[in-house]
């Protein structure tokens, strides 16, 4: 319950602009969950997106949140938002 609450509060936006440590195991678990989704398989198989999934702090921070990941699984609008984030990070 506390994990969900902390993930939810952290997804509302950063209150302090200091980077918090990311839990790699948690992110990898979320990626495994997402790989079961058809739309995410296409993202995962794309070389450029794949590099962002494992090397970009902003993308990994997004995937760190259980709240966001479970919303992404259920909501097509959130999936599109995630792909927009990936495209934005690719342009940098």
Tens place of pLDDT per residue across the chain (92 aa) = 666 666 666 666 554 455 678 889 999 999 999 999 999 999 999 999 999 999 999 999 999 999 999 999 999 999 999 999 999 999 98
**Residue 33 falls inside a structural domain:** no
**Residue 17 falls inside a structural domain:** no
Its domain, for residue 2, covers: 1-12+45-92
**Residue 71 falls inside a structural domain:** yes
Q: Give the chain's domain count.
A: 1
pLDDT recorded at residue 61: 94
**Residue 85 falls inside a structural domain:** yes
pLDDT recorded at residue 3: 64
Other Cβ atoms less than 10 A from the Cβ of 81: the count is: 14
pLDDT recorded at residue 4: 65
**Residue 4 falls inside a structural domain:** yes
d(CA 1, CA 52): 30
The b-or-e profile of 22-54 (16+ CB within 10 A means b, else e) is: eeeebbeebbebbeeeeebeebeeeeebeebbe
């Amino acid at each position: 319950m506390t994990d969900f609450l902390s993930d939810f509060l952290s997804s509302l936006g950063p209150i302090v602009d200091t980077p918090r440590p990311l839990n790699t195991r948690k992110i990898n678990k979320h990626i495994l969950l997402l790989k079961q989704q058809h739309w995410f398989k296409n993202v995962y198989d794309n070389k450029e997106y794949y590099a962002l999934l494992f090397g970009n702090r902003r993308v990994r921070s997004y995937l760190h949140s259980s709240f966001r990941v479970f919303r992404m699984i259920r909501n097509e609008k959130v999936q599109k938002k995630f792909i927009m984030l990936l495209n934005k990070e690719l342009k940098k």
